């Protein structure tokens, strides 16, 4: 690959535990089929309530109503506000350490689809947890949030914006995300991509690409 200049990171599911885990716990506790919330979010993925909220095109109240209507249409009543309470996972210390080590050598950026609900890019709703989350966000040279830019992954424009602001070419970056749909356009642009299936796997893959010792 071209000489690496930047490491780009998704946030939820990479730097933090996946919100999908919280979705599954909610589904289990309420007798809803596993991955139902993800199914709602994946239905009409560019125009549904979730997509529009991540682009800041609708309010919390509108999202609550629209998401409930979409959920009911698929067979189960789930309030949008309840889903928002599930956002904001726990920091993964080993991934944070890897970010610190990468930031000493490469440009770093956080590319996150988020919503204007909670505190900051991590969407925390707990003040005690918001500060540590912000400390991690401060490690990045650049943070690009869908809720602020009005565009979201997997739009190629989202990745192009990151490259322009970092003054790099796509082929000079590696991008980590836990969703294949978000990696596909980045890879098509020339980025090296890593799908985060587990921490161990992601750290091993990233160490190979960067040549850095990322743990231990």
- Position 130 scores a pLDDT of 76
Average pLDDT of the segment spanning 4-12? 97
**pLDDT per residue as tens digits for the range 100-119:** 999 999 999 999 999 886 55
Decide the pairing of beta strands 192-195 and 6-9. Answer: unpaired
- What is the pLDDT at residue 215? 77
Q: Which fold has domain 6-16+88-210?
A: Rossmann fold (3.40.50)
DSSP assignment of 68-100, as one string? Answer: HHHHHHTT----HHHHHTT----B-HHHHHHHH
**Residues 84 and 117: beta-carbon distance below 8 Å:** yes
The per-residue DSSP string of 16-74 comes to B--HHHHHHHHHHHTT--TTHHHHHHHSSTTTSHHHHHHTT-S-HHHHHHHHHHHHHHT
Task: Calculate the average pLDDT of the chain.
Answer: 93
d(CA 46, CA 212): 37
State what percent of residues in the chain have pLDDT above 70. 93
pLDDT of 119: 54
Confidence at residue 1, expressed as pLDDT on a 0 to 100 scale: 55
Q: How confident is the model at residue 216 (pLDDT cuts 50, 70, 90)?
A: low
Q: Whole-angstrom Cα distance, residue 212 to residue 158? A: 27
Domain boundaries, the chain: 6-16+88-210, 19-84
Residue 66: band (very low, low, confident or very high) from pLDDT cuts 50, 70, 90: very high
The helix (H) or strand (E) run that includes residue 111 is strand 107-112
Is the predicted pLDDT of residue 124 greater than 80, yes or no? Answer: no
pLDDT of residue 28 exceeding 70, the answer is yes
- Give the model's confidence band at 121: pLDDT under 50 very low, under 70 low, under 90 confident, else very high: low
| Helix, coil or strand: residue 7 | strand
Tens-digit pLDDT profile for residues 171-214: 999 999 999 999 999 999 999 999 999 999 999 999 999 999 99
Handedness of CA 92, 177, 82, 127 (dihedral sign): positive
Q: Where does the pLDDT of residue 128 fall: very low under 50, low under 70, confident under 90, or very high at 90 and above?
A: low
Which H, E and C letters describe 123-189, residue by residue?
CECCHHHHHHHHHHHCCCCEEEEHHHHCCCCCCHHHHHHHHHHHCCCHHHEEEEECCHHHHHHHHHH
pLDDT average, residue stretch 122-131: 61
**6-16+88-210 and 19-84 have identical folds:** no
Lowest mean pLDDT among 14-18, 56-60, 123-127, 143-147: 123-127
Cβ(162)–Cβ(8) under 8 Å?
yes
Is 1.10.150 the CATH number for 19-84?
yes
What would the pLDDT profile of 151-170 be if each residue is shown by its tens digit? Answer: 999 999 999 999 999 999 99
Tell whether the model's pLDDT for residue 129 goes beyond 90. Answer: no
215 close to 203: Cβ distance less than 8 angstroms = yes
Closest CA to 73 of 61, 65, 81, 85: 65
């Amino acid at each position: 690959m071209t000489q690496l200049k930047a490491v780009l990171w998704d946030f939820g599911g990479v730097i933090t535990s996946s919100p999908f885990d919280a979705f599954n716990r909610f589904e289990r506790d309420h007798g809803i089929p596993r991955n139902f919330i993800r199914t709602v979010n994946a239905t009409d993925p560019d125009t549904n309530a979730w997509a529009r909220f991540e682009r800041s095109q609708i309010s919390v109240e509108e999202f609550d109503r629209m998401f409930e209507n979409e959920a009911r249409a698929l067979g189960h009543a789930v309030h949008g506000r309840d889903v928002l309470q599930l956002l904001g996972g726990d920091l993964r210390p080993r991934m944070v350490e890897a970010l610190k080590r990468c930031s000493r050598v490469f440009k770093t950026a956080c590319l996150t689809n988020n919503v204007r609900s909670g505190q900051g890019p991590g969407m925390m709703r707990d003040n005690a947890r918001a500060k540590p989350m912000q400390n991690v966000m401060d490690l990045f040279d650049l943070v690009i949030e869908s809720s602020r830019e009005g565009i979201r992954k997997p739009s190629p424009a989202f990745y192009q914006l990151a490259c322009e602001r970092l003054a790099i070419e796509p082929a000079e970056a590696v991008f980590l995300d836990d969703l294949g749909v978000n990696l596909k356009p980045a890879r098509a642009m020339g980025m090296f991509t890593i799908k985060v299936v587990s921490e161990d796997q992601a750290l091993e893959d990233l160490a190979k690409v960067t040549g850095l010792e990322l743990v231990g």
